[in-house]
Structure 1
Amino acid sequence: MAVAADVVARTLAVVLAVALLSPRLVSSNSEGDALYALRKSLSDPDNVLQSWDPTLVNPCTWFHITCNQDNRVTRVDLGNSNLSGHLVPELGHLEHLQYLELYKNNIQGAIPAEFGNLKSLISLDLYNNNISGVIPPTLGKLKSLVFLRLNDNRLTGQIPRELVKTSSLKVVDVSNNDLCGTIPTTGPFEHIPLNNFENNPRLEGPELQGLAMYDTNC
């Protein structure tokens, strides 16, 4: 009887351990899946993504990826990596991501609205690419965002007024795009220099008395 009781106790211990670990494994795998979706959407002539192996439990051993002590992805560092292709909405699953560095590549297409789910994001650096479409209003949900650098792309549309409520913003650079409408002057935009908006031929200048001047033709 003692042997049987010992077997039962050991079995329960194993089941409990699996139950405790499962959420972490599932979340880590979902992060790996999200990053692998990005890899599949990109052309990588210099093989900088060669270590991104989707069969691993989590992506923390991949080059250009940083994780915290809980094996959650906090940084993606792929600036100036000769990449081309598109961003993917799956990146919105990286809820612990703080730094997304994809500057100085040849990434095309739109910024996914799902980036508004990156609730821990501090820095979004997509400058010097070939990104088009509008700046997603969902970025206004990023309450930890400090750096938003989207300059030197092909972005169109207006600067989302949702960003005015992002009090953490310190740096916004959208120069050298094709934005239109007016420049916000309230909230964090009160301290953003005007040269961070220059070379947008259809951008008309600062709002009058902080009132948004929406252009229906924009």
Structure 2
Amino acid sequence: MAPTYLLSFLAFLLTVSPTISTNSEGNALHALRTRLLDPTNVLQSWDPTLVNPCTWFHVTCDSNNHVIRLDLGNSNISGTLGPELGGLKHLQELYKNNIQGEIPEELGKLKNLVSMDLYGNKFEGEIPKSFAKLKSLKFLRLNNNKLTGSIPRELTTLSNLKVFDVSNNDLCGTIPIDGPFSSFPIQSFENNNRLNGPELQGLASYDFGC
């Protein structure tokens, strides 16, 4: 039998320790909060001592208390995204505003993601090839950022993708024509001065101008 004082001490830890009382999704979101600048304190409800983040503002959960939607739009929040978002395994919708830096490869772990709206931010770097793992994805909007590099050919395997918009970036190479890309309008790619297309048959693996 453990001494009474030891049992009391363990009970105390369970009530005050954020790393014990918060679930993994709450930990992921709290880690994200440390990367964000929040001048109007709209994330003050993101309290790591709570059992789960389903009561936090800008967070939506399903009936099983899993985070399925994260929406920080129109909240005057800036900063960067980090790999911790890959821990939100049940996330279905992701919306951001005024975010900069590179898009984390770890977003490719969000297998349940249906909608990713990262438009109108200040993202730089390339579109992650890991997005090809998002087989449930229907909407991918990355327009109005500062993205560079080519459109990953791996994205042509996203058979459920209905909307794709990378306009107003600095992408290069050629526009894919396979898979869902055969139906996307040219407006989805406009204002990328180094982007050519649609690509020629037989030259799909070659990126012109990158």
Question: Aligned equivalents of 1:217 and 1:122: distance in 2?
Answer: 32
Q: Deviations over 1:44-100 (max 9, x none)?
A: 112221110011111000011111111110000111221111001110111110000
Runs of 5+ consecutive residues of structure 2 not aligned to the other structure = 1-19
Verify the 8 A CA contact 1:152 1:174 in the aligned structure 2: yes
**Of 124, 128, 132, the match for 1:132:** 124
Q: Is the 8 A contact 2:195 2:209 kept in 1?
A: no
1:181–1:213 CA contact under 8 A, matched in 2:
no
Q: What is the alpha-carbon distance in structure 1 between the residues aligned to residue 102 and residue 76 of structure 2?
A: 18
- Measured on the aligned residues, the alpha-carbon RMSD in Å equals 1.8
Pick aligned residue for 1:81 from 72, 75, 78: 75
Report the Cα offset of residue 37 of structure 1.
1.1
Matching residue's letter, 1:34? A
Write out per-residue CA displacement over residues 160-194 of structure 1, whole angstroms, 9 at most, x where no aligned residue: 11110000100000000000000011101111001
Are the equivalent residues in 1 in contact too, given 2:92–2:115 (CA < 8 A)? yes
Q: Does the aligned pair in 1 maintain the 2:26–2:53 contact within 8 Å? A: yes
TM-score (norm 1): 0.84
Residue of 175, 183, 186 corresponding to 1:183: 175
- State the shift of 1:145 in Å: 0.1
- The partner residue of 1:37 within 31, 35, 48 is 31
- Give me the identity figure in percent: 68
Q: Does 1:59 align with 2:39?
A: no
Give the 3-state SS of the residue equivalent to 2:108 in structure 1: helix
Cα deviation, residue 213, structure 1:
4.5
Tell me the distance in 1 between the aligned counterparts of 2:193 and 2:205: 16
Does 2:90 align with 1:96? Answer: yes
Structure 1 segments of 4+ aligned residues over 6 angstroms from their partners: none
Contact 2:170 2:193 in 1 (8 A): yes
Cα pair 1:117 1:141 within 8 Å, conserved = yes
Which structure 1 residue ranges, 5 or more long, are not aligned?
1-25
Letter in 2 for 1:100: L
Are residues 1:201 and 2:193 paired? yes
Output one character per residue of 1:7-33: Cα deviation in whole Å (capped at 9) or x when no partner.
xxxxxxxxxxxxxxxxxxx8x711011
Distance 2:74 2:206 in 1: 35
SS at 1:132's partner residue?
strand
Distance 2:79 2:162 in 1: 29
Contact 1:52 1:59 in 2 (8 A): yes
TM-score, with normalisation over the residues of structure 2?
Answer: 0.87
What is the aligned length?
Answer: 192
Supply the distance in 2 between the matched residues of 1:48 and 1:189 (Cα, whole angstroms): 38
- Aligned counterparts of 1:201 and 1:46: Cα–Cα separation in 2: 37
Question: What does residue range 90-169 of structure 1 map to in structure 2 within 5 Å?
Answer: 90-102=84-96, 105-169=97-161
In structure 2, how many angstroms separate the alpha carbons of the residues matched to 1:70 and 1:173?
Answer: 32
1:50 aligns with 2:37: no
